[in-house]
Amino acid sequence: MSSEIMDLYMQHLKEIKDGEIVKGKVIRVSGNEVVVDIGYKSEGFIPKEEFLWEDIEVGKEIDVFVETTEDDDGMLIISKRKADRLMGWENIISRHKEGSIVEGKVARIVKGGFIVDICGMDCFLPNSLSTFRGRERQVLGQDFNFMIIKINRLRKNIVVSRKDALQKEKEDAQKRLWEELEEGIVREGVVKNITDFGAFVDLGGVDGLLHITDMSWGKISHPSEILKVGDKIKVKVLSVDKEAGKVALGLKQLTEDPWQKVEEKYPVGSKVKGKVVNIMPYGVFVELEPGVEGLVHVSEMSWTRRNVNPHDLFKVGDEIETMVLYVDKDKRKLSLGTKQLQTNPWDTVDEKIPIGSTLKGKVKGFTDYGAFVELIDGIEGMVHVSDMSWTRRVTHPQELLKKEEEIEVKVLSIDKDAQKIALGIKQLKPNPWPEIVERFKVGTVVEGEVVKVTNFGVFVKLEEDLEGLVYMSEMDKTMAEHLKPHDKVKVKIVKVDPEQMKIGLSMRDLAPEAREEEKENE
């Protein structure tokens, strides 16, 4: 080449100095090297590894750092990595500071952590701040947000943290979410934890409490019946307390309250089917639909049975038919009955067992004042103690009757409205009192046996099932103190009352010796 041509060529070359960053163009890729033309008299070679994950295309313009225009062998030495590092450093320190969030790519694993490429600058990510434990290889080449936690301008080093970036993102998300949260809005969340009283739902950085009472219009015993950890659900915000950091959520509020139309769906007198969901001593609860339950009280289970045990008639899970008796939408109460679906035997009871008829029945129970006797179709009547004997003083029905004993009774009266039947046993025999009046005339002295001594008098048996009463005023004090049951005594008839079925007795004029002794003691 002539000197003239050489001079002309040199005039067209760029003036390039060591330490500069210049533009270059990829002209070819040869093996593990990339050949770059920077407009100098010779071309530069850059190892492929300096391009990391970038595409290497012939003709692509790149920035390179001129380490030296001519080394000992006369070669041009350039570096893309150093150019990226210097340009990245300037870019970072001019736009960011410690605490800033930046995007970077996990470039490689090094001792104690990772190298993260941020704007071409190699930044160090310690293992303790990475959150990548157990998946180190999987994150290589992936982009993440990092927080700049330390900038060393002297050494041009930058330390970043993925852990702090995540915390900052969480705090920012929480702040935005608290600003967005307001009563009435619907949001999607993830069930985070389940307790006996409810479930905690992550709304995206803020946890809200979904109480068990706000999960379903129906009754549930535990939140796990409808939710499990990890479920994605939509919930309604019921209340927000930003100062206390509390959010109340509702699930059932996303659907219509079934009680709003309960009067239309279940009018009084209608027949409805439902499922027995709970049994109590006083009745059974029947679910008509989720969220709507009614009570069948024991008094509404049978026309004739007394003291009904619900467990004898129903079990949980039974599908039964009932009649609606009462509805109160505001108090969310619904009364049901099962006996109303059957014919009431009390409507025709006076036809089957007319007043004055005699029939047999079985003793089913007792009270202090009488005994219940089962007659027909499960209908019971009561024999009052006053209707058990014409003459015997009955203080308790079990003195004469036993449970399950079959006895004959007479129907005395029927009250269909009150569902009561009065029965009698003594009425099966003629009233003996007219005869008693004749046999025990006033003034007659008879012998009897002491039955009971009380503080007001002494009961004396005159004959079988016939007693009289000697009041204390009708006997000497000394005699009263010594009397005891089974003693034989003389008594005078002083009163016979057939209406009250009572006989009054006296012992005062029958013991003159005792009277004289009483005077001497005075």
Q: Which residue ranges form the domains of the chain, and what is each CATH number?
A: 16-83 (2.40.50.140), 96-167 (2.40.50.140), 181-254 (2.40.50.140), 258-341 (2.40.50.140), 345-428 (2.40.50.140), 433-521 (2.40.50.140)
pLDDT confidence of residue 319: 95
Determine what percent of the chain is predicted with pLDDT higher than 90: 48
236 closest CA partner among 176, 196, 186, 284:
186
What H or E segment, with its residue span, contains residue 417? none
Helix (H, G, I), strand (E, B) or coil at 21: strand
pLDDT given for residue 14 in this prediction: 60
Nearest to 106 by CA among 87, 91, 127: 127
Least confident of 70-84, 257-271, 326-340, 358-372: 70-84
Q: How confident is the model at residue 13 (pLDDT cuts 50, 70, 90)?
A: low
pLDDT at 480 over 80: no
Residue 130 CB neighbours (<10 A): 21
Residue 514 has pLDDT above 60, yes or no: no
Q: Which of 291 and 50 is assigned the larger pLDDT?
A: 291
pLDDT band at 513 (very low <50, low <70, confident <90, very high): very low
pLDDT of residue 57: 81
Question: Mean pLDDT across the stretch 212-220?
Answer: 87
pLDDT tens digits for 441-452?
Answer: 999 999 999 998
Q: What's the pLDDT band for 236 if we cut at 50, 70, 90?
A: very high
* Residue that wins the pLDDT comparison between 7 and 91: 91
Q: Is the pLDDT of residue 515 over 50?
A: no
d(CA 375, CA 361): 5
Asked if 426 and 401 touch (Cβ cutoff 8 Å), the reply is: no
pLDDT of residue 52: 67
Higher pLDDT, 75 or 503: 503
With cut-offs at 50, 70 and 90, classify the pLDDT of residue 518.
Answer: very low
For the chain, percent of residues with pLDDT exceeding 70: 94
Band of pLDDT at residue 521, cut at 50, 70 and 90: very low
